[in-house]
Every structure is written in structure tokens, then in C-alpha cells.
Amino acid sequence: MKVAVVGVTGLVGNVMCRVLEERNFPVSEFLPVASARSVGKEVQFAGKTYQVIGMEEAVKAAPDIALFSAGGGTSLEWAPKFAEVGTTVIDNSSAWRMDPDKKLVVPEINAKELTAEDKIIANPNCSTIQMVVALAPLHEAFGIKRLVISTYQSFTGTGLKAVKQYELERKGFKPGESEMAYHYPIFENCIPHCDVFLDNDYTKEEMKLVHETRKILNAPDIAVTATAVRVPVHGGHSESVNVEFERPFEIGEVKELLRQADGLVLQDEVGKNQYPMPFFAKEKDEVFVGRIRRDISIENGLNMWVVADNLRKGAATNAVQIAEYLLKKKVIEPQKVVL
């Protein structure tokens, strides 16, 4: 297939390339795409060197699939132009997630809803993806009434600027004002501020957890509240998720449902100090869940701890998995290539 990675020089774009390689996605022609200031730069893919091209050239090439990780404004402008030439766009920004005409997809949950008419497909937010992978089987079994979420999100989710800020601070340097991704130091600090504050005093990141969770689970009445915190951690996001169900449950039943769920790894042997951590999740494609225990303060309440690599399952891997599903189900057909 002719595959474009838009935003190829960014943190997620780079991981998208690695995931395509690792999962042996059938790429017959690779198009590395970025903004004008990156055109002409060289990138590596599958052992070959490519020069980055601009948006207009990429649209003219009419790729079969375009994996977008270039920001919401870029996606709003360019995704429709790719779609017009027949490209299926899988977009990692927030631009299309809450558009009622666009599918918001986590393959383990709702990929079956995709059709050939879906030319712009939204990849959910990183913190939402890992949480709903763990919640979906439980929602189906017991019905989720309310969620209380606290996230501990890796600075890598903010992008290259945050990584550079962290590295400077870790080495003992004070970044200049233009080098600061955050209002405060991130090294040896926790910042309860992910994305911008909204009129309701929640951050945009926190409200993504509210709205995206409801859309993916097709459950508009679930009550959701969240606090999102940026932490000085490589390797992934962690989430404390408190769930109130509509119906009673047994802990053993919960663990068995999680053990059998696609894309999940249950790590829950506290007697052996086994539980999910970013230390283990880094560079992995699965979602890890543990610390499963009944919430003794309410009826039908459950506590769980969810961890995943935010650059992989939280972004790049989920996008590539969507592309794999489209190919497997022949929603899109690969080009016939004569070698």
C-alpha cells in the first residue's frame, strides 16, 4: 500500500514509522510528510533513506492511507484534501474526534463500525484509549454508571519540546523561556495541568476523557469526572480509575473478563508485588491493568490501575491497528505491485 505519515518528524510520527516497520505493514511506497520547514530533511524507514515532502506533493501522490500526527489545525485543513483524492486518513489530533460524522475508533472496541465511506477516522486521545480498552468489557457486563479518573501522564505526551525541557532540567540546566513546554519545571515535579484550562476550570485533557469515553462506549449517560496530571516519567501514562457500576459484580469475574480481553494484560498479584507500571509498559503495545479491588465506600464500586505506553497504544500503535483492520476486512484494498 502507498502510505503517508504526516508529521513524520514529530515524536508520534517517528513512532508511527517504527510501528509500521515492526508490525510488517505492507508498505509498497512510503511518503514522509511534514510542514514546509521540514521539507527536504531525511528520514529512515525500513532500511531506506527518504526525503520529507510537503502537503501538496503528498496529496497529489494520492496515498491509500495517511497517518496524521501534525496537530489539529493541520488536520482540519489537509485531511479533507487527502480524503477527496481517495485517501483514508487516520488522524491522531483532536480535530475530528467529537465530529458526529466521524468514527472515534479503538480497534478492540468498535473497529467493526468502520466502512469504506469513512475517509477520515479519528484516533482517540492517549489517556482515553488505554482506559476504554480496560473498561469496555466491564461496561458490557455490568454497565458503568460513573467514573472518577486521576491520570499520571508522561511528559512525552506533550511532544519534543517537553522532552527537551525535561532533559535540560535533568542535567541541571535551567531552560530559557522559549524552551519551556510548561509553566513550571517538570523534572522532579508533578503539574496538575494538561492542555489548556476551559471555562468550567477543567482542562481540555480532562474533558477529552469525559466526551471521548462516552462516544467510544456509545454511553452518553455515563457520569465522568477527571483530574489530569503531568509527571516526570518516561514510558507511558498511568491512571487511577474508580468505577461505579449499575449492577453487582464479583472480583473474580472482573479479573477473568480483563484477563480474556483483547489488547489487555492483567498484572494483579499484590502478594508478589506485581502491578502495572510505566517501567514495564514502555515500548509495549498492550494496555496493562491491575490493583483490582472493590471500592468499599460505595455499592458496586471498583478501583483499578491502568498503564500503557502513550506514544504507542496511546497514539501510533492504535492508528496502525486501525489501518490493519481496514486492510484485513478489505475495507480498503492494497495496490497490486509488480516486483
Give tens-digit pLDDT for 94-132: 999 999 999 999 999 999 999 999 999 999 999 999 999
pLDDT tens digit sequence for 144-199: 999 999 999 999 999 999 999 999 999 999 999 999 999 999 999 999 999 999 99
Other residues' Cβ atoms within 10 Å of the Cβ of residue 139: 21
Same domain, 154 and 243: yes
How far apart are the C-alpha atoms of 233 and 127, rounded to whole Å? Answer: 15
pLDDT at residue 188, as a whole number? 97
Shared-domain flag, residues 9 and 79: yes
For residues 304-316, give the mean pLDDT: 98
> Quick one: 159 and 37 in the same domain?
no
Q: 334 in a domain, yes or no?
A: no
Nearest alpha carbon to residue 135 among 19, 257, 43: 257
Same domain? 196 vs 66: no
Task: Specify if 14 maps to a domain.
Answer: yes
Q: What is the mean pLDDT of residues 35-52?
A: 95
* Predicted pLDDT of residue 67: 98
Supply φ then ψ for residue 270, to 5 degrees: -65, -25
pLDDT band at 336 (very low <50, low <70, confident <90, very high): very low
Do 9 and 34 share a structural domain?
A: yes
Q: Does the structure show a pLDDT above 80 at 337? A: no
pLDDT at 209 over 70: yes
- How far apart CA 59 and CA 63 sit, in angstroms, is 7
| Residues 208, 83 share a domain | no
Asked if residue 79 and residue 149 are part of one domain, the reply reads no
pLDDT at 121: 98
- Contacts of 273-278 with CB under 8 Å at 24 or more apart are 275/305, 276/238, 276/305, 276/306, 276/307, 277/238, 277/307, 278/154, 278/233, 278/234, 278/235, 278/236, 278/237, 278/238, 278/307, 278/309
Point out the residues that are catalytic.
126, 237
Q: State the residue range of the domain holding 65.
A: 2-95+316-328
What is the model's pLDDT at position 338? 36
Q: What is the pLDDT of residue 332?
A: 85
Query: Is 336 domain-assigned?
Result: no
Taking each helix axis as running N to C, give the angle between helix 126-142 and helix 204-216, from 0 to 180 degrees, rounded to the nearest 10.
40
Residue 335 placed within a domain: no
Residues 84, 135, single domain; the answer is: no
Mean pLDDT, the chain, as a whole number?
A: 96
* Intra-chain end-to-end CA distance of the chain, in Å: 13
Instruction: Output the pLDDT for position 153.
Output: 98
Q: How far apart are CA 156 and CA 218, in angstroms?
A: 29
- The answer as to whether 110 is a domain residue is no
Task: Evaluate whether residue 102 is within a structural domain.
Answer: no
How would you classify residue 320: left for phi > 0, otherwise alpha for psi between -120 and 50, otherwise beta? alpha
Cα–Cα nearest to 207, from 151, 162, 159: 151
- Shared-domain flag, residues 299 and 323: no
Average pLDDT over residues 222-240: 97
- Domain with 27 in it: what CATH number? 3.40.50.720
- Is residue 112, in this structure, part of any structural domain at all? no
pLDDT of residue 226: 98
pLDDT at 6 over 90: yes
Q: State whether 212 and 285 are in the same domain.
A: yes
pLDDT at 333: 78
Tally of domains within the chain: 2
Same domain for 68 and 42: yes
CA separation (Å) from 109 to 103, 131, 246, 252, 262?
12, 12, 20, 22, 9
Query: Given this model, what pLDDT does residue 334 score?
Result: 66
Question: Are 180 and 297 in the same domain?
Answer: yes
Angle of helix 11-22 versus helix 317-328 axis, rounded to 10: 40
Model confidence at 68, pLDDT cuts 50, 70, 90, reads: very high
Whole-number pLDDT of residue 238:
98
